[in-house]
């Protein structure tokens, strides 16, 4: 396997695993692609994410990360009663993408987990990062660590997976509650932000590519 792309795809150590064989997308999974509704907040989110003059990048990014974390946590909470061990025995984004969990404790190797379990670990992990005074210093003037953006990339990639799962597997619930405008707006904001600062690999954004193209112009 000399082809670097294939190597990446088949590497067992990766937590992001596009499946080789997958069922063609069903109606249910495609539902989210029609998503258009958005809150009219009266401002251009694309402009809103840009670093204001005089502002420090790390500060700007840190605040956004904390905020997105809180909001995505709530978004998942709204569909939490639907996302169970039974409904989602494997954390995935449609039939094509499966996510595995890896951390420094119990799961040293990427492990397939149910979606709710995966989400719990994911959110707990991010919370630990955010609460880490060395990574996210809280005093004005304390410098950010060198690996700050690296960690942020990981956090945002993981947060993105929550969006993927929610959109692909639970969009019906979102629509039923009438909250798609809220979720979409949050997604757009998130997407513009990671794009503006190149914080997530394009590959990771793949599962929602089509929807994103419709939603974020």
Partner 1 sequence: MEDPAAPGAGSASTNGNGNGGGKGKQTAPKGREAFRSQRRESEGSVDCPTLEFEYGDADGHAAELSELYSYTENLEFTTNRRCFEEDFKTQVQGKEWLELEEDAQKAYVMGLLDRLEVVSRERRLKVARAVLYLAQGTFGECDSEVDVLHWSRYNCFLLYQMGTFSAFLELLHMEIDNSQACSSALRKPAISIADSTELRVLLSVMYLLVENIRLERETDSCRWRTARETFRTELSFSMHNEEPFALLLFSMVTKFCSGLAPHFPIKKVLLLLWKVVMFTLGGFEHLQVLKVQKRAELGLPPLAEDSIQVVKSMRAASPPSYTLDLGESQLAPPPSKLRGRRGSRRQLLTKQDSLDIYNERDLFKTEEPATEEEEESAGDGERTLDGELDLLEQDPLVPPPPSQAPLSAERVAFPKGLPWAPKVRQKDIEHFLEMSRNKFIGFTLGQDTDTLVGLPRPIHESVKTLKQHKYISIADIQIKNEEDLEKCPMSLGEEVVPETPCEILYQGMLYSLPQYMIALLKILLAAAPTSKAKTDSINILADVLPEEMPITVLQSMKLGIDVNRHKEIIVKSISALLLLLLKHFKLNHIYQFEYVSQHLVFANCIPLILKFFNQNILSYITAKNSISVLDYPCCTIQDLPELTTESLEAGDNNQFCWRNLFSCINLLRLLNKLTKWKHSRTMMLVVFKSAPILKRALKVKQAMLQLYVLKLLKIQTKYLGRQWRKSNMKTMSAIYQKVRHRMNDDWAYGNDIDARPWDFQAEECTLRANIEAFNSRRYDKPQDSEFSPVDNCLQSVLGQRLDLPEDFHYSYELWLEREVFSQPICWEELLQNH
**Residue of 170, 180, 205, 175 whose CA lies nearest to 191:** 205
Strand-pair category, 92-93 with 111-112: unpaired
User: Quick check: 39 binds partner 1 (CB under 8 A)?
Assistant: yes
Question: What single-letter DSSP state applies at residue 90?
Answer: S
Residue from the set 2, 3, 40, 106 that interacts with partner 1 by CB under 8 A: 40
**Residue of 172, 129, 163, 173 whose CA lies nearest to 148:** 129
Residue from the set 76, 101, 160, 187 that interacts with partner 1 by CB under 8 A: 76
User: Quick check: 52 binds partner 1 (CB under 8 A)?
Assistant: yes
Binding residue positions for Zn(2+): 83, 88, 165, 170
Comparison of 8 and 87: residue with beta carbon closer to partner 1 = 87
Residue from the set 14, 78, 95, 102 that interacts with partner 1 by CB under 8 A: 78
Only one of the segments 11-19, 153-161, 175-183, 208-216 lies at the binding site for partner 1 (rule: CB under 8 A); that segment is 175-183
Residue 165 to residue 82: CA distance in whole angstroms: 12
C-alpha separations of 41 from 38, 64, 181, 189 in Å: 9, 17, 11, 11
Residue 206 Cβ, how far from partner 1 at the closest point, in Å? Answer: 23
User: Quick check: 113 binds partner 1 (CB under 8 A)?
Assistant: no
Q: How many amino acids of this chain bind partner 1 (CB under 8 A)? A: 57
């Amino acid at each position: 396997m000399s082809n670097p792309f294939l190597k990446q795809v088949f590497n067992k150590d990766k937590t992001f695993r596009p499946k080789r064989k997958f069922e063609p997308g069903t109606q249910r999974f495609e539902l989210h692609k029609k998503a258009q509704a958005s809150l009219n907040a009266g401002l251009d989110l694309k402009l809103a994410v840009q670093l204001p003059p005089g502002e420090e990048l790390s500060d700007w990014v840190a605040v956004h990360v904390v905020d997105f974390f809180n909001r995505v946590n709530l978004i998942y909470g709204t569909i939490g009663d639907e996302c169970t061990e039974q409904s989602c025995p494997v954390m995935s984004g449609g039939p094509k993408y499966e996510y595995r969990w890896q951390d420094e404790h119990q799961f040293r190797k990427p492990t397939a987990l149910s979606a709710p379990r995966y989400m719990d670990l994911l959110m707990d992990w991010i919370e630990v990062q955010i609460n880490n005074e060395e990574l996210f210093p809280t005093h004005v003037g304390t410098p950010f660590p060198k690996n700050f953006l690296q960690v942020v990339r990981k956090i945002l990639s993981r947060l993105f997976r929550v969006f993927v799962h929610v959109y692909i597997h639970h969009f019906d619930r979102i629509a039923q509650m009438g909250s798609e405008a809220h979720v979409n707006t949050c997604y757009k904001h998130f997407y513009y932000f990671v794009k503006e600062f190149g914080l997530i690999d394009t590959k990771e954004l793949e599962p929602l590519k089509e929807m994103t193209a419709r939603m974020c112009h």
